[in-house]
Every structure is written in C-alpha cells, then in structure tokens.
Amino acid sequence: MIDLLYAELKRTWIQFIRYPTEVISGIVIIMAVFYGLFASAQYMAGPGFAFGDRLDAVVIGYALWTLIISVNNDIAINLQIEAETGTLEQVFLSPFGAPRVFLARAFASLALRLVILMVVLLLLMGISGSRLAFPPTLLLPLASLLLAGYGLAFLMGAAALVFKRVQQILGIFQFLLLFLLAAPLEEATGPMQYLRFLLPMLPSTGLLRDLMARGLGLDWVTYALALLNGLVYFALGMLVFRWAEATAKQRGSLSGY
C-alpha cells in the first residue's frame, strides 16, 4: 500500500509538473475571481467600511471552497477523463481493487492540492490584507473536513461511474458547496445550530473559522461531532462507490463515457 501511495504521488506530480501552465492558470483564475468579489464588496460597502474579523472568515471560506471543489471533483472528473482516454479499465484490473486505488489517488492529489492551497491562501492574504492565524490544532478540523469532502468526492465518483456525464451535477454542486463552507452557521440560533451537524463538512468549517479567524481555541465536543460527521460521510462515500463499481460491471459500462 505504501508503494501504491508512492506511485500515485509520483504519477500526480509528474503529470502536474509536465504541464504546469494548466495549474498556474487555475490559480490565477481563483485569485482573479476572489479579487473581483473583494473589490466589488468594498465598493458597495463604501471606503469607510472595515471588514475586520469577517474579512478573515471570508478569506478562509473562499480558500476552503476552492480546495473542496477540487477535492470533490477530483475523483469524478478523473474517472470521466480516464474512461475517455482509455486507462480506466487498466486501473480496474489492479489486484488492490478500485476503492483502494482511488483512495491512494485521493491522498496523492490531496498532498498536491494542499500545497496549492497554501499558495492561494498566501496570495489572498496579500491581496486582501487579511492576517490569518495558523495554530497547529487547525489540522484536526481540517482532517475532519477532508474526510467529509472525500466522502462527497466518492459519492460524485460513484455518480460518474453509473451515470457517466456528471459535469452538470458538479457545476451545480459547487454552489451548494459554497453554502456548506462559507455560511457561518456556527453563529446560527434555533434548530440550525443542531442541524448543521448533519450536513457534510459544516461543523468542520465552523471550527476552522474559530481557530483561524476568531482566535478561539478548539472546542473538543464540537470537534468530536465534526469528526463523526467526517467519518460518516466518508464511509457513506466508500460504500456507494463500491455499489457503483458493482453496478457498472453489471451493466458492462465501466469504460463508457
């Protein structure tokens, strides 16, 4: 399994480095969209308005959104590309079994994406003047966030295996993700303060905002719930992915696109 992880890291890195313009242009687009949003919000609020803590929360929400979009689309888009280019069936011929291979792929691409996220965050802080804190405890809610994120990614991958064309769903899903990541429901009152624990990723993003923007410590009870949320969505994603693999093999549609 270590060899597999290493091989996936190497493959991901080579493909990234061989055509770096794609990634660089991706980062530039992310930055341009943020700058556009930031500048128009400032224009509407007027020159005297200060974002304060909220700016930091917005920066985190936006950066996490870009990370989770790429994590979320990762498996589905790659499944579709590989079906089109004709390597998907070779991947399914692995004695490791598809779920383990795709899990290793998820880890490999995550490593790369975290590096890109750091670059994006540093650039965003430069543009907006936001000063974010990076306490080591933030790794914990980040892990539970990624667990839920990859759970959704495997769900999307399952949809790609069974329904093939999923670009439309992925496009709409990006806006749902924006709500899940950027809405500060940890400040909500009423039933939503409890319901947020049932929605994917929401409890983890709240904790990340606490740690990085509000300068609060980690609330361990909330974190336990966030971790449970991550584990449940991850397990659900893996289960549905296995079902989708069996269904695609049953239909003989593994290589279709």
For residue 199, give the DSSP letter: S
> Interface residues for other proteins in 211-250 (CB under 8 A)?
246, 249-250
Backbone angles phi and psi of 111, in degrees to 5: -55, -45
- Contact at 8 Å (CB) between 206 and 222? yes
Residue 179 or 243: the one with the smaller Cβ distance to other proteins is 243
Which stretch in 8-16, 50-58, 61-69, 139-147 sits in contact with other proteins by CB under 8 A? Answer: 8-16
> Is there binding between residue 25 and other proteins (CB under 8 A)?
no
Restricted to residues 168-187, the positions that interact with other proteins (CB under 8 A) are: none
Of the residues 40, 87, 167, 193, which one makes contact with other proteins according to CB under 8 A = 87
Q: Is 256 in the site for other proteins (CB under 8 A)?
A: no
Contact 235, 151 (CB under 8 A): yes
Member of 21, 85, 168, 189 binding other proteins (CB under 8 A): 85
Residue 252 interacts with other proteins (CB under 8 A): yes or no: yes
50 to each of 35, 80, 131, 169, 214, how far by Cα in Å? 16, 44, 14, 37, 16
Tokens of 191: 């039933």
Residues 55-84 close enough to bind other proteins by CB under 8 A = none
In terms of Cβ atoms closer than 10 Å to its own Cβ (0-12, 13-18, 19+), residue 205 is buried
Give the binding site for other proteins (CB under 8 A).
3-4, 6-7, 10-11, 14-15, 18-19, 85-87, 89-97, 101, 246, 249-252, 254-255
